[in-house]
Each structure stands twice: as C-alpha cells, then as structure tokens.
Structure 1
Amino acid sequence: MSGHGFHVHGPHDHELEHAASGGHGHDGAASSGKGMSTTGKIAVSTAAIATAGAIFAYMGGATQANAGLYKNNAAIKKTEASNQWNYFQSKSTKQALAEFARDTATDDGRRQGWQVKVTRYEQEKTEIQAAAKKLEDEASRWDAQSETQMHQHHRWAQATTVLQVSIALAAIALLTRKKWLERAMYGVAVAGVAIGALAALHI
C-alpha cells in the first residue's frame, strides 16, 4: 500500500504529506510485496498519535475548567462561613450585654428575663457555629477537588506536549529516513500515552 494514501491532519501535516508523496519510490517499492511501507506505517502511527493528543488536550481543558469551578464553589462556601462567623460574633456581643444586664438587674423578674435571653443566645451561637464549621468543611472539600483536577490538568498537558514532540519526530523521520528517529518517535509516543494513563488514574 502506498504511503501517500494516508492524510494526517494535525501538526506538521504538510511535511508528512510531502515526504509520503515523494519518498514512496524506495520504501514503497521495496515493500510492495510485504505490505505497508515504512512511510505508510509512520503516517498511520502519526494519525493515531494525533488522535490521542486531541483527546488528551480535551481532557486537559475539561479538568482545568472543573478546577476553576470547584475553586469558585470553595470561595462561595468560605464567604458563607465568614458570614456565619460574623453572625456568631454578633450573637456573642448580644449575649455579653444580656449577661451584664442580668448581673446588674435589681429585680428578680428582670434578672430572670435577661437569663432567658442569655440562654437563647447561647443556643443560637451553638447552631451558628455548627453551620459555620459545616460550610468550612465543604469549602475544604471543594478546594481538595480543585487541587485534584489541577493535578490531572497538568498530567494531561504533559501527555499532550509529549505526543506533540512525537509527531514532530515523525515528520523529521519521514524527511530524513533515519531509523533512530523513527524509534525515538515511537518511544516518545509510548511515554506520552503512559503519562495520559497516569492522568486517567489520578496519579
């Protein structure tokens, strides 16, 4: 099968098409009875690598967007928790004033009335404190998820970059006919796929 029958759409596609169309006289003829030429194999491999790179790039963008969304959710929860703590402080101030009024009251009835308010404020503070801590815990969880997504994003970005290097090596290998460049192209591609696997496994 002739190498120029494959069309790779991605980085360096002009170089690949030029090499494929101009170089089949040797590799293509020599392997006409053996199957696909070296040029054809590299072209097909490059197409597969480019496809994997496109998927990795998409995943990198998706995880980056998720990280931003989760970080925003964490910020919202932190703001809500801060509001609850401000409310808690307000209740503490009111409780302190009620305790002062209770302690300085000369009438038992008024003293009892202030004590009721002190008790109510204390109960409200307990509820507000629980709500604030719950919001802080939620904020921490959103932050942790954001960090996880950013770590994945970096992995996907690394994998995409490595695959782009592999595609560049494929173009050079087609132009120079160097076997060591072809082997390097495959080796770098395997490394890129391995990094992508680490990203998929959250490692």
Structure 2
Amino acid sequence: MSEHGFHVHGPHDHAVEHAAHHGGDTFSNNIAVMTAILATVGALFGYLGGATQTEAALYKNNAAIAKTAAADAWNYYQAKSIKQNIAEMAASLPGADQERFKAQAARYDADKTKNRTEAEKLDKQSDEWNEKSEHALHTHHQWALATTAEQIAISLAAITLLTRRRWLLSVTYVVAVIGFALGAFAWFHVDPLGALTAGAGAAH
C-alpha cells in the first residue's frame, strides 16, 4: 500500500477512464455518458429511499407514543369504572348517604366516558400512524429496488464497454428502463403488484 493510499474504482469510473483513453470512439463515449446519467439517477433514488425510511421510522415512533397514551387512557377508564361500581354499591347500603354516593357515581361515569372517548381517539391515531409507516416503508422498498436496478445497469454498461458486445447494450437499456419505472412508481406512490392483486380479486 502506497503512502497515498488506494482508491477502489466503480463501474462508472472505469467507463469514464475508458472513454478518456478512446476519445474518438463514439461507442465508448456514449456509454460513458449513459453511465454518468445512471449514476446520478441512482444516487437520487438512493437519497429518496433513505428519506422514506426515516419517515417510516418517525411514523412508527408516533404510533407507539399514541398507543402508550391510549393504554393510559384505558387504565383511567377502568379505574373510574371500579370507583363508579363501588359508589353505586355504597349507595345501596342501609343508612348510607345515598345522594352523595349517587353523585360520586354519576361523576365517575362522566369521567369514564371522557376517558373512553380519549382512548378510542388515541387508538385511531395509532392505527393511522402505523398505516403511514407501512406505506412509507413500502415506498422505501420501491426506491431501493429502483436504485439496485440502476446499479445493475451501470455494471452491465461497464461489461458492455469492456467486451464490446453490443447486444449487452440492449440489456443495459432494458434494466435501466425498469429502474426508471420503479422510481416512477415510488414517486407517484403506485403499487403495480397491489393493483394487479386487487384486479384479480375483483375478477373472482
């Protein structure tokens, strides 16, 4: 290892270097330009994939917070229910101050209703956050697939450049287009597999 360290070249680096050494080679120049575009698009897809993964984690955290708050509200609901039952039982005892215990039971019943409403509201919020998290995670997977497709296309372009096999260039284009399509699906929040499954279910 030299004192200046070393640098690992990727497929795009090799394509650019090859084009630089064959300046008059149109085939090499075209592939170098194509790999530069694919590398840029792949980097963008990777960034967007990371962003949606962060969103999914944030939404999941919000869902957990809402679920914990809902559990607390349900606990208060149970506690007020117990106190209400005790007050109602006390009101039925001989010689008890029935008016006072009935008033307590009514107050506990009102508090219990508020706690139940709050708990149901928080449970709904938790479900909504979980749904958002699942959607963001699915979009993240789409971005990841799109990024992988562009990386494969770049590698194929490098192989095409080294072997001079023009048929490989067609394969490279196909893989790159697949990557673009996956990126478009992620950008517009389209789930082609889900749509096909829903269509098949409707047909039956």
TM-score, normalised by the number of residues in structure 2: 0.85
Deviation of the 1:38 alpha carbon: 1.4
Q: CA deviation at 1:23?
A: 4.2
Is the counterpart of residue 155 in structure 1 residue 142 in structure 2? yes
The amino acid across from 1:136 in the alignment is D
Is the contact between residue 45 and residue 144 of structure 2 (CA under 8 Å) also seen in structure 1?
A: yes
Structure 1 runs of 4+ aligned residues shifted over 4 Å read 22-25
- 1:55 corresponds, among 33, 40, 44, to 44
Query: What does 1:32-47 correspond to in 2, within 5 Å?
Result: 37-47=26-36
Contact 1:11 1:167 in 2 (8 A): no
Residue deviations 1:134-156 (CA, integer Å, cap 9, x gap): 00111011000000000000000
Gaps of 5+ in 1: 1-9, 29-36
- 2:105 partner letter: V
**1:24 Cα offset (Å):** 4.7
What do the CA deviations read for 1:141-195 (whole angstroms, capped 9, x no partner)?
Answer: 1000000000000000000000000000010011011111111111110110000
Matched residue of 1:104: which SS? coil
8 Å CA contact 1:105–1:111 kept in 2: the answer is no
**Residue of structure 2 aligned with 1:142, choices 113, 122, 129:** 129
1:196 aligned residue: 183
Cα deviation, 1:61-104, whole Å, max 9, x if unaligned, reads 00000000000000000000000000111101111110110011
Which residue pairs with 1:5 in the alignment? Answer: none
Matches of 2:160 and 2:147, distance apart in 1: 20
Structure 1 counterpart of 2:92, one-letter code:
D
User: Aligned partners of 1:178, 1:64: CA distance in 2, in Å?
Assistant: 38
CA-atom RMSD in angstroms: 1.4
Correspondence 1:17 to 2:16: yes
Question: Are positions 1:96 and 2:85 aligned together?
Answer: yes
Structure 1 counterpart of 2:71, one-letter code = S
Identity of aligned pairs, percent? 45
8 A contact 1:152–1:202 mirrored in 2: yes
Separation in structure 1 between the aligned mates of residue 13 and residue 52 of structure 2, nearest angstrom: 32
Following the alignment from structure 2 to structure 1, what is the Cα–Cα distance between the partners of residues 53 and 99?
A: 59
